[in-house]
Structure 1
Amino acid sequence: MKLSYKIVLFFLLLLSIDSVVGQQDPQYTQYMYNTMAINPGYTGSKGHLSVTALARTQWVGLNGAPDTQTFSFHTPIGYSRVGIGLNVINDKLGPSHETYFDGNVSYTIRTSDEGKLAFGLRLGGRTLNLDWSRGIYKDPDAVFSQNVSNRFLPSIGAGLYFYKPNWYLGLSVPNFLRTDHYDDFIESVAKERMHYFLIAGVVFDLNDDLKLKPAAIAKIVSGAPLSLDISANLLFKERLSVGLAWRWDDSISTLFGIQITDTLNIGYAYDLTTSNYQNYNSGTHEVMLRFDVNKPKLKSPRFF
């Protein structure tokens, strides 16, 4: 497929999601390296054991701002079409503290010599804790006085993930259940609506040493503003990457990554806020570590 044709298809995909709306769960700037947290269909797709740790400190200097840590691993089961994985997410926002535990399983079918389609299922839950003595509120009278301690909320989700060596496309719903969730906008506990995630990415060979990796994610939910992230990274000699990202009506970001060894990758992102919060914080920092265990040396390179 010619380069120009791929570019047209990629941006047509972005335009096609202009009419939908969304809101945010825990969010990541380096979503392209943390895909299983968004889509269980990604589970086992790398063909070997992959372990990822990510820490995100959002809106530094703003009291009660989101603070998120993620640990995940996934692997195929032998030479079968089945992949398994686990996500553990620790998320703090204002008076709330939520811990997610999600098991993921995928089944992959081959659609062509290079194309694969994976069906993913997620089953798990999270614990919700609320301490209303923490934080400062716009309307203190509206805040519930009753704390919440270790309330367990189950979750079940699913995803589709189609990929070839140089591009991917995914659609997922991480949780179909309408469970309780802290909403920082209304400063209360509300029923969470289903979130839809659409992801896409492609790798272009600019020359023998340089690759361009644009990617996008839309986070969609009925009745709320669209959350859209678009990024572009340059990869030099398959070792060093630098890039820029833009989150609609929220922030612009710089990204940096380096493949230290064949098994260890480190990434860093800095978000500069462009929303109404920009005068009250000094930005967002995100650090990612990924270990690829037993990675075959002769395998064709994968960049997502």
Structure 2
Amino acid sequence: MKRITIATVAAVWVSIIAANAQQPLTHTQHGRLRTVLNPAASLLADGGEVSVISRRQWVGVDGAPAVFWGSGHIAFKDFGATAGLSIRHESLAVEKLSEASAFFAKSVRISKTEYLGLSLNAGVAYMDGRFSQLDPQDPAFRDDVREIDPLVGFGVMLYRPERYYVGLSLPRLMLGSLGGSDDSRYNFRNVYHLTAGALFPLGTDFHVRPSVLVTYSESLRPQAEASALFFIKEVFGIGGNFRSYGEIAGMAQFNFAGFGIGYSYQFNPGNEVLSRRISNTTHEIGLSYRFGNQSGGLL
């Protein structure tokens, strides 16, 4: 029964790819948890930070997409620099991708209040695709793939602490052809992220934090999304996220003593192919802790 379920999920996924191309697996909490998308964003938490994000799509379906991001860095305030590690693990049915990379970021002051941050990262990616488990007799599924390839990346960010930021990054520039094949289902491409956000005070006890994320890759559909959270006394925030393909998410965040806890519930009210065939409910949890004298920070 489990094999039938996985095979069904994979068949649906392949049909969606053939019709529309795969959407990138990104998270909705990019307004605060940005380092996994652009290591230069670590400069905004100049006391150091540790964060993790877990995203589970199509809840209740065996083999559904799941992604885990983790990041941690230390700061060198005297040099305006940070150094840290980022990890990522994503899975879909019998296909898994794991990445780990180290990064270094440096800021340069370009005005009285503004900074330009640059980052470089390098690491490895490992793909484990056990496609023969779906149906060894079906020629549509090729042999198993297990590959390790190096990767490098970069990021740039213009920012004003606790006010705004705009960044562009390529965190995964593959130096090999991971899962290399003319079949785009198994060929991981370079992914670009454009991020931007700001923090606006609304009186003494209220703030609003809008943010946007645009993701592009040669083999994926471009995706744009916007989020906004309203905060009370910098402690509790509530808001939403909207993606260009119709997904809507309700979001909440709670800050205390340097900790940040975020939750997102996402669904698609439309009638796309995915919505008609399987559950499209997505849950996402983010945790972070900022070191130093920071109270948690909203941006």
Using structure 1 for the length normalisation, give the TM-score: 0.82
CA distance in 1, matches of 2:179, 2:166: 30
1:82 corresponding residue in structure 2: 81
Q: Tell me if structure 2 keeps the 8 A contact 1:86–1:104.
A: yes
SS in 1 for 2:174: coil
On the 8 A contact 2:196/2:211 being kept in 1, the answer is: yes
Distance change (3 Å), C-alpha of 1:178 and 1:249: farther
Correspondences of 1:148-167 after superposition (within 5 Å)? 148-149=145-146, 151-164=147-160, 165-167=162-164
**8 Å CA contact retained: 1:142, 1:187:** no
Question: How much has 1:97 moved relative to structure 2?
Answer: 1.2
Q: Per the alignment, in what secondary structure is the counterpart of residue 163 of structure 1?
A: strand
For the pair 1:103 / 2:102, whether they are aligned, the reply is: yes
* Match of residue 39 from structure 1: 38
Q: Please point out which of 257, 262, 285 is paired with 1:262.
A: 257
State how far apart, in whole Å, the 2-side matches of 1:63 and 1:132 are. 16
Conserved? CA contact 1:44–1:75, under 8 Å: no
- Runs of 4+ residues over 3 Å off in structure 1: 22-26, 133-137, 178-183
Q: Is the 8 A contact 2:152 2:175 kept in 1?
A: no
Q: CA deviation at 1:194?
A: 2.7
Shift of 1:121: 0.5
CA contact (8 A) 1:213 1:233 kept: yes
Which of 178, 200, 211 matches 1:215?
211
The answer as to 2:291 corresponding to 1:293 is yes
Matches of residues 54-65 of structure 1 in structure 2 within 5 Å?
A: 54-65=53-64
Q: Is the 8 A contact 2:57 2:282 kept in 1?
A: yes
Equivalence map 1:66-145=2 (5 Å): 66-134=65-133, 140-144=138-142
| Runs of at least 5 residues in structure 2 that lack an aligned partner in the other structure | 1-20
Contact 1:96/1:182 (<8 A) preserved? no
When residues 173 and 43 of structure 1 are mapped into structure 2, their CA distance, relative to the original with a 3 A threshold, is same
C-alpha distance in 1 between matches for 2:64 and 2:216: 22
Alignment identity in percent?
Answer: 22
**For each residue in 1:102-138, what CA deviation from the matched residue of structure 2 results, as whole angstroms up to 9, or x when unmatched?**
111111001112111101101011111111255589x
Deviations 1:148-195 (A, max 9, x none): 23x211111101011113111001111233644569xx67422x3332
| Contact 1:43–1:105 under 8 Å retained in 2 | no
Aligned partner of 2:245: which letter?
D
Distance in structure 1 (CA, Å) of the matches to 2:22 and 2:157:
22
Q: Any idea what the Cα deviations from partners look like across 1:187-224, whole Å, max 9, x if unmatched?
A: 7422x333221111111222211111111000012464
SS at match of 1:60: coil
* Count of matched residue pairs: 273
CA 1:236–1:176 in 2, change beyond 3 Å: closer, same or farther?
Answer: same
RMSD of equivalent CA atoms: 2.5
2: distance between equivalents of 1:158 and 1:262? 31
